[in-house]
Structure 1
């Protein structure tokens, strides 16, 4: 019954996605009115309607006085609607065309949020799946976005939140490195496991994953018969208790 309910939920989700993909023709109207209507939809949280109107403005008036703000609004509503690829494409276009825009700190912040969201999967959350061994590329991109924001705009309103998110992303990346080292250990690739552990400890010192990697490193040394190296590693484990 549980699986049947989940399948029904998935079917309903696909049906709703199909329905929402049908585009509504936006009638011709002055840009000021069209933008006002788009803002109303945005403020009401009607993301699909806001997207339709903003996309119409973007295509009909690409060089008008609303152009930059329309693109900024599209970045936001694409993100809120879960259209992450469209959000990233719009962000990258905006950065390319407006590299010195006054809201560039916000654009970088949204890029970080969007890349972070790509690492989150609804089904993983539903089944409480450990994602530590998943491809960390979106996480690396997000970390780079937030790092760039903090470096370029240290006094930005978004800088402190970006720093906190970098801390969480760092732990996520460290867990991926740990999962990889554990994979090598289970495959009896002792040297590869040791190298991965050492890389993790150098790149992400102070993380829980770095401490746990010492156990993998010690076991790999043991399997290689390197008693002195194993002893030194176990001494480090003693100095860094859980």
Structure 2
């Protein structure tokens, strides 16, 4: 028995109205007639029984099983409110994040997960909270035609999971999803780069393709990025970089149709693939596991 509520009759409402009058008009004399001890104003005490934490928690689980994720989140929230310093409260906090996630209320899940991580960063469920946070971003990744801010947030949260909880059971799945997020971001860069290339904004196009080659070498877009660099540099008359892009493409993806196109394009200018070891393209690939340059 811990929480008391007071129910006031109409007399108190009248007093509040008079008080408002006094604040608005300093000369209002009716305030002097208010007696805080007036027995005509009756208070009815309502005692609300405290529900045991375990019962609230189990009620939340029962609602989850019935598919009532919103109701479950509210029950878990009650555990936190009524028993804030208990072990049940900590469990309820992570279950709140999970209930929101299951209900596709991703922003609520993100907020609940962050709160859990702030309060319990070293707990046994911290890795799971980070996973829920990352997946809530990941499940909102849009197609490549739209802004990829959500992809970048998902990538950052997934990478944090791998870095902070390397022995977690969620790491293997996180690594796979990191690749998906990276591929999505690279895809957006390629889309913008092609847009610039079609409009002969070669500098803008090169900057986009350069990001893919420098940052997202393990994605499926790197072959096209190197081919597009060959095309853009050729259009600008920068033969050395065009030859280097084609040479790196050929050494790493010799059977790629993009390499065949790049080779043919160089031939139209009387050139052939030739790597300049001092080029940023060569340096970007040098030392990367599974990727080699002509001199490597």
> 1:178–1:210: 8 Å Cα contact kept in structure 2?
no
Partner of 2:42: none
Deviations 1:192-223 (A, max 9, x none): 21122122111111322111112321222232
Match of 1:212 in 2: 224
Of the three residues 148, 166, 172, the one matched with 1:160 is 172
Does structure 1 residue 78 correspond to structure 2 residue 119? Answer: no
Shift of 1:89: 0.9
Residue correspondences, number = 206
2:236 counterpart residue number:
224
Q: Which deviates further from its counterpart, 148-157 or 79-88?
A: 148-157
More helix by share: 1
Higher RCO (C-alpha 8 Å, min separation 6): 1
Gaps of 5+ in 1: 1-26, 121-130
**Per-residue deviation, 1:135:** 1.9
Is structure 2 residue 59 aligned with structure 1 residue 37? yes
Map of 1:1-242 to 2, 5 A cutoff? 29-120=51-142, 131-239=143-251, 240=253, 241-242=256-257
CA distance in 1 between partners of 2:55 and 2:207 (Å): 61
Q: Given that residues 116 and 138 in structure 1 are in contact (C-alpha distance below 8 angstroms), is that contact kept between their aligned partners in structure 2? A: yes
Instruction: Give per-residue Cα distances to partners, 1:103-155, cap 9 Å, x unaligned.
Output: 111111111111101215xxxxxxxxxx1132222222222222222222222
Residue equivalent to 2:31: none
Asked if 2 retains the 8 angstrom alpha-carbon contact of 1:133 and 1:180, the reply is no
- SS of the equivalent of 1:96 reads helix
Return the alpha-carbon distance in structure 2 between the equivalents of residues 206 and 199 of structure 1: 12
SS of residue matched to 1:118: coil
User: How far apart are 1:237 and its partner, in Å?
Assistant: 3.9
CA distance in 2, matches of 1:68, 1:143: 27
Q: CA RMSD in A?
A: 2.1
- Deviation for aligned residue 1:28: 6.9
* Structure with the higher fraction of residues in strand conformation: 2
TM (norm. structure 2) is 0.64
Q: Any conservation in 1 of the 2:50–2:82 contact (CA below 8 Å)?
A: no
- The alpha-carbon deviation at position 76 of structure 1 amounts to 0.5
Structure number with larger C-alpha Rg: 2
